[in-house]
Structure 1
Amino acid sequence: MNTANTLPSELAADRFARRVTARLTSGTDDLPYDISERLRAARMQALAKRKVVVPVRRAAPAVMHSGSTAVLGGGNERGGWWSALVSAVPVMALLVGLVVINAAQDEQGNNEVAEVDAALLTDELPPAAYSDPGFVQFLKTTHTSN
């Protein structure tokens, strides 16, 4: 086995398989000949299937078309810090956009409050008149009589 290209999970699975094989082999001494031969044949079949090499799939560094959709290929999975930085740029742009939108909405709300305050202060009535319940009733009656 080439340990340079194997993953730790593959190494652990291989160690587990070797332990199970050793345990099963130690228990075959007491079995009859026909059962031990069937077990040996099954073991040979399992080993023949295990030796099948599965090709490593890698993403293509290109744009692939599938009908009316386009799929981006990633290329090398281990791009390092540069690919992490490039993938973080859209997230940062989104966050900056949200902050700008929030600031613009806050300023718009402040401008609306300032316009209402300016209208109250430049009006002929004092601001206390607007909180008077009698004035509210006066506005309702004059509005309906006009």
Structure 2
Amino acid sequence: MTTHTNTIYTDVLQARYSLRLSARLSADLDNLPHGVTERLRVARQQAVMQRKKPQTVTRLRRATEIAHNGHTAALHGSDDRMGWAGWLASGLMVLALTMGLMAINSQQNDNRAIEVADLDAVLLTDDLPPEAYADPGFLQYLKAGRDQQSTAH
């Protein structure tokens, strides 16, 4: 086994032991005398007061690399600042993304206009019964007819 696997295995064993121990201690908690429960309560409060306080982050840094640790990944930062080349590359990527989205929007608008034009052409050139205009599935009817015509050609 590797050192990393041994560490994980040890952590799992410690967690299991602590769960079993706390379950056994909690099982007879109701049967303890009042003086003992008060001492336990005071000791618990003292332990909570003495626990290590979390350190505050004094300076935020950019994460520049990913360190893999088994099945997990952690972000590591460095003091390197993004230079003009990084800003230029970021700007070019944003510009390319914006242009791509505009092209997609234009293509979708063109497709909608072509679909409406095809629908108008079918309405103007086809002899349909009057019931077809009142049918809620009229658009589906026209699309199905157009799909059949395109597969026949």
TM-score, normalization by structure 2 = 0.35
Instruction: Determine which structure has more spread, i.e. the larger CA radius of gyration.
Output: 1
